[in-house]
Amino acid sequence: MFVRPGELRQAEWAELDLDQAVWSLPAEKMKARKPHIVPLSTQAIKILREIHPLTGTGQYVFPGARTNKKPMCENAINAALRGMGYDRDTFAGHGFRSMASTLLHEKGWPSDVIERQLAHAERNNVKAAYNRAEHLPKRQKMMQGWADYLDTLKAGAGIIPIRANG
């Protein structure tokens, strides 16, 4: 999904449309204060449907350990990584974003598509003033390719292509 850890931990069921495979984040939750649409892979939809019986009656997809009235704590993702043996010098929750960006760029996905998925603002002021492209069809294809790639790694297979063309 490539969202920031704070955006992920505050995900609300009301923001998700599992039938349309999108997560619509409101502007007030985004760093740039602009709404953001996240295309969801079939794997993400499957996981969310599996989580729904556990947390779906509450507001948050990932509620806090002590109360379901608040999202999971700010340190939950990094604490999970520490529990898996990653120290803070090796990996942090925010690192998933840079890892995905790097691999997708190296595999030939268009930078505009990757940057839009990361919810990064256009740095070129002239381009930003005119270009409002969301690249949703390409982002959906990219996110499905990314999820398929992760599934293959999970299964222990070698590197598979996640090229923009394939």
Q: Please spell the DSSP secondary structure of 36-85, one letter per residue.
A: EEEE--HHHHHHHHHHHHHHTTSSBSSB-SS-TTSBPPTTHHHHHHHHTT
| pLDDT value of position 158 | 60
Buried b (16+ CB within 10 A) or exposed e, 18-41: eeebebebeeebbeeeeebbbbbb
Residues 85-119: pLDDT tens digits? Answer: 888 888 888 788 899 999 999 999 999 899 889 98
Residues 127-146: pLDDT tens digits? Answer: 443 444 568 899 999 999 99
Span of 15-24, 137-146, 149-158 with lowest mean pLDDT: 149-158
Span of 10-14, 119-123, 156-160 with lowest mean pLDDT: 156-160
Residues 33-67: pLDDT tens digits? Answer: 888 899 999 999 999 999 999 999 999 999 998 98
Active-site annotation, residues: 4, 31, 94, 97, 120, 130
Q: CA 66, CA 2: separation in Å to the nearest integer?
A: 27
Q: Given 3.30.950, 1.25.40, 1.10.8, 1.10.443, which CATH number is that of 5-154?
A: 1.10.443
| pLDDT value of position 129 | 39
Q: What's the whole-model pTM score?
A: 0.82
- Residue 60 phi/psi, 5-degree rounding, is -100, 140
